[in-house]
Amino acid sequence: MHSQKAILITYPDNDSINEALSLSESADYSIIDIVKQKHLTKSKFGIGSGKACEVKEIVLKNHVKNIIFDEVLKPSQQYNLTKLCNVHVIDRERLILEIFEKRATNAESHIQIKLAQLKYDMVRTKEKVRLAKLREQPGFFGLGKYDADISLLDLRTRITHLQRKLKKEELRKKMYRKSRSKSGFPIVSFVGYTSAGKTTLFNRLTGETKNTGGGMFTTLSTFTRNVNLRDGKILLSDTVGFISKLPAYMIDAFKSTLLELTYSDLILLVIDINQSISEIKKKLRSSMVVMNELLIPMTKVIYLLNKVDLTTIEDAYEKFHNLKIADSQINVLPVSALTGYNLEKLKSLINDIVFPNQYSLLIQKQHNRENKTGIKL
């Protein structure tokens, strides 16, 4: 699939930029210019009028059809910016919904995501009804009061219908899980915050397998691939990832995209270790809350301290110890998706955990080598 060109409007700090870039990429947009602004909640366009005109110039110069706006826009702001620049304006929530939609892998997540989309539309339709009633903007979006009321009613009916469907689907879910775990191959899934480096690691691990010879590599979907390890084949799976400032009405949809984790044999929890300890703590804590709710045992986790090329191994371990994860059997490995550092060791560790017969022999070996490898088993 071809990615579409887009201009990104986001906040000036690096975390915001990186997250917005990763989200845009996940939704298949290639960002050709970034407009950084301290304030994205101004009344008319979200950004100031002068800046909005600059954005229009960038759009014209680059023949771009999309603007990604890293904040939630009101319908009137979205309308104003669309009209000024004559392109699609995708606000932050819309972008996240587009990502979820691409990732829906089962019936439940399709319904959950559709529900979240309807709720997104509902908020906007309500705003239109309000504006139409105030007669502030007659014919706003071509919508009279009557039309707006009708579409609100229609949205409500569709939401009720989906909620009923969801109930039925929940009953079916248990059976689905059973059948998945019978597929035979161990399932290994990446989780972690957006821009931690999951997709880069995923590509790196599956890409390397691809280069080692024909027939070893199969694309099951864009996000799950078959990888050959020393003692057998695994299914490696990339996930949506945790997103900061996720609105409450999207949480169920988000969790449904993570259902695959519940039948994973091993979780690779990716941490961007080149961040402040407080940032890492905050992100890890909220990841753990979601994983607990999904009943994923933390014993099935390897912590990957990624982007270690940007710092030192010592710093990575120091930060990790600072997280005080209370678990007697922690698997932790500093890695770099960029340089490939420790990725062979990672494959070997995955292999030894998911193919346990060979693993028991290995524990003995690892005990002898523990200090040299840095892997704590």
Ligand X SMILES: Nc1nc2c(ncn2[C@@H]2O[C@H](COP(=O)(O)OP(=O)(O)O)[C@@H](O)[C@H]2O)c(=O)[nH]1
Among 6, 10, 17, 22, binds ligand X (CB under 6 A): 22
Handedness of CA 4, 143, 74, 53 (dihedral sign): positive
Of 101-109, 148-156, 197-205, 328-336, the window that binds Mg ion (rule: CB under 5 A) is 197-205
- From the list 96, 71, 90, 89, the residue with the least C-alpha distance to 16 is 71
> How far is Cα of residue 254 from the mean position of the Cα atoms in its chain?
9
Single out the residue of 10, 106, 109, 199 in contact with Mg ion (rule: CB under 5 A).
199
User: Can residue 155 be called a binding residue for ligand X (CB under 6 A)?
Assistant: no
The site partner of 197 among Mg ion, ligand X, none (C-beta below 5 to 8 Å per kind) is ligand X
Lookup: tokens for 146: 């009557």
Cβ-proximal residue to Mg ion, closest one: 199
- The pair phi, psi for residue 228, each rounded to 5°, is -90, 125
CA–CA separation, 340 and 350 (whole Å):
16
- In angstroms, give the least distance from the CB of 90 to Mg ion: 18
Whichever of 140 and 202 has its CB closer to ligand X, that residue is 202
Tally of residues, the chain: 377
49-88: which residues touch ligand X (CB under 6 A)? Answer: none
Contact region with ligand X (CB under 6 A), list: 155-163, 217-225, 294-302, 330-338? 330-338
Cβ partners under 8 Å of residue 205, min gap 6: 227, 236, 343, 346, 347
> Among ligand X, Mg ion, none, what does residue 77 contact (CB within 5–8 Å per kind)?
none
Nearest CB to Mg ion, comparing residues 128 and 198: 198
Residues linked to residue 191 through DSSP beta bridges, in sequence order? 269
CA distances from 37 to 12, 96, 106, 163 (A): 6, 20, 38, 39
DSSP 245: T
Nearest to 251 by CA among 209, 198, 290, 302: 290
Taking CB under 6 A as the rule, does residue 338 contact ligand X?
yes
Distances (CA, A) of 247 to 97, 243, 244, 354: 11, 10, 9, 36
CB of 196 to ligand X, least distance (A): 4
Nearest approach, Cβ of residue 192 and Mg ion (Å)? 9
Q: Which of residues 180-209 bind ligand X (CB under 6 A)?
A: 192, 194-200
Q: Is 316 in the site for ligand X (CB under 6 A)?
A: no
307 binds ligand X (CB under 6 A): yes
Question: CB of 198: closest distance to ligand X in angstroms?
Answer: 3
Q: Which residues of this protein are in contact with ligand X, per CB under 6 A?
A: 18, 22, 25, 192, 194-200, 241, 306-307, 309-310, 336-338
Q: Which residues bind Mg ion (CB under 5 A)?
A: 198-199
